[in-house]
Homo-oligomer: A and B are copies of this chain.
Amino acid sequence: MEPTQGPRRRDGQGPDGRRDPARGRADPRDVRAWATHPVYVSPRGGPVRMPALPSRSKSEGSVPLENLTALANPVRHEANNLLAAISGTVDILLRTAATDRDHARASRLREATDRLEALLKAYLSLAHPPSAEDGIDGAQMLQLMRPLLVLTIGPGRVVEIEAEPGLPRLSASPAMLQAGILRLAREAAAAAPAGASLRVTLTRVQDGVALAVTSNPEGAGPAPLLLHPSGG
């Protein structure tokens, strides 16, 4: 961390006791300044004035979104700890259930916990997509994204995921592939008749692998994406 990014001492001096030249550049009228940058501290050490009722600007959204990304990993870690605590207890309940009713309750807990875990894993992966050093396993990526696909196509619709066996790993950017999958799902869902299920397919084509989202049984959908094999 640079010294100019560190906490301010209330005596108006930098952490090292010298007067900090960078402080003069901070503008307390800038709506974003106090959220991201060291802010002006009055020589008397009084509080920093926060701009009231800031006007909405397009770039204002970037600061909260930075926190959404920065906290995704700590949140995932903490959520995994809590889900593991729940799962461990549910395992005991499943093993020790004395009656059918006890077992049914434990099974309900099991199912809801597993679905919650898959949902959070999928959502938080948008902030930190899986690594793709050796190329992406397309089928695995679709399974990871399944809970978000279900949410994207709307309630009451079924998502079918079909990946041809033995597909090559893909050279795409994981983040962009995730975004592409969601865009195709949104477009297909918007055009599909109410109640239609959606098929998400990965199939081998001449130049690589085609990712398509089509309505079932109509077979209509946006143009498929062509994905390239990694290392090709």
Contacts and interface: CB of A to CB of B under 8 A. Distances in A.
A49 B152 CA distance: 24
Given A176-B31, A190-B7, A226 B85 contact: no
A103 interface: no
A115 B191 contact: no
Interface string A79-112: 1001101100110110000000000010011001
Interface string A47-73: 111101110000011011111110100
B53 A126 contact: no
Contacts of A210: 47
Contact of A71 (B78, B115, B148, B224): B148
Contact of A34 (B6, B115, B207, B225): B225
B32 A64 contact: no
Nearest to A205: B47
A223 B50 contact: no
Nearest to A73: B151
Interface residues of A, number: 90
A159 interface: no
B179 A35 contact: yes
Contacts of A93: 93, 105
Contacts of A112: 82-83, 85-86, 89
Interface centre among A65, A90, A205 (most CB of B within 10 A): A65
Interface string A120-151: 10010011010000000000000000011001
Given A109-B89, A120-B120, A210-B47, A8 B53 contact: no
Contact of A50 (B39, B61, B120, B227): B227
A33 B148 CA distance: 21
17 contacts: A34-B180, A35-B176, A39-B223, A47-B210, A47-B225, A48-B224, A50-B176, A50-B225, A50-B226, A52-B172, A52-B228, A63-B179, A64-B178, A66-B179, A67-B182, A75-B123, A86-B86
